[in-house]
A = this chain, B = another copy of it.
Amino acid sequence: MPETTTSAAGEPGARGAYEPTDLTVPTRGRPRASYDRELVHAILDEAYVCHLGFVRDGRPVVLPTLYGRVGERLYVHGSTGSRPLRMADGGPDADPGLAVCLTVTHVDGLVLARSAFHHSVNYRSVVVHGTAYQVTDAEEKRAALDALVDHVVPGRSADSRPANAKELAATAVLRLGLAEVSAKVRTGGVNDEPEDLSLPHWAGVIPLTTRYGTAIPDEDLDPSAALPDYLAAL
């Protein structure tokens, strides 16, 4: 199982690819970078939590948070009192936005080489750079919140009570456009030095997968309530 890497899917501006920029071309590991739109979407859609980075008082802050995607827009939400959401709100006249970096990572396997140096993990990650703005349009906000719920389980927003006016008012939503985006993927096997191949250390890959456990019904749920098909299918 040789190591394989995903290369850039297209030239700058190519259909189906994001345009590489100074922010999205890595200084290292360039062969693993990809700007392919479908790959980026697939990595984003599979994860539950992103890590949202922003700058506060000159220092970096990285917080895990749920997110949703609608086409080429990502949405994160939070209480209207939370720090990043307050920071993005420059007032109704001129929202300056909040510079963010939103990163999503899947760890797919442990790569155990014969040499300590070549230990690694197989992974898929997406890094999105951009400016996040508060969503003020009521219709966009509703669609964003649906996307956040459907991101947890596809189809779930249609099988839950929609947010009411009070809940909508208590929730702030940030929009981040997918423009400065890159993916990195490592797949395949170990990458040992030729002179190390005969060393007496086991080498290979331990795959990692995320498994759904048995659903635990809420204690107040009618015991006769069946698990919906879209949940049973997980």
Contact = CB atoms under 8 A, between A and B. Distances in A.
Contact of A58 (B55, B161, B201): B55
Interface in A137-165: 145-146, 148-149, 152-153, 156-157, 159-164
Given A119-B152, A161-B201, A210-B209, A218 B1 contact: yes
A79 interface: yes
A75 B79 CA distance: 33
Interface in A202-231: 202-221, 225-228, 231
A94 interface: no
Contact of A203 (B61, B110, B221): B221
A102 B210 CA distance: 23
Contacts of A231: 112, 202, 206
Contact of A63 (B103, B189, B221, B226): B103
Interface string A3-39: 0000000000000000000010001100000000000
Nearest to A60: B53
B159 A202 contact: yes
26 contacts: A1-B219, A27-B81, A27-B82, A28-B78, A48-B208, A49-B105, A49-B123, A51-B62, A62-B62, A64-B103, A66-B120, A110-B152, A112-B160, A113-B160, A115-B163, A116-B149, A116-B161, A117-B163, A119-B148, A203-B218, A204-B216, A206-B212, A206-B213, A206-B215, A206-B231, A210-B211
A101 B209 contact: no
Given A78-B28, A116-B163, A231-B202, A125 B64 contact: yes
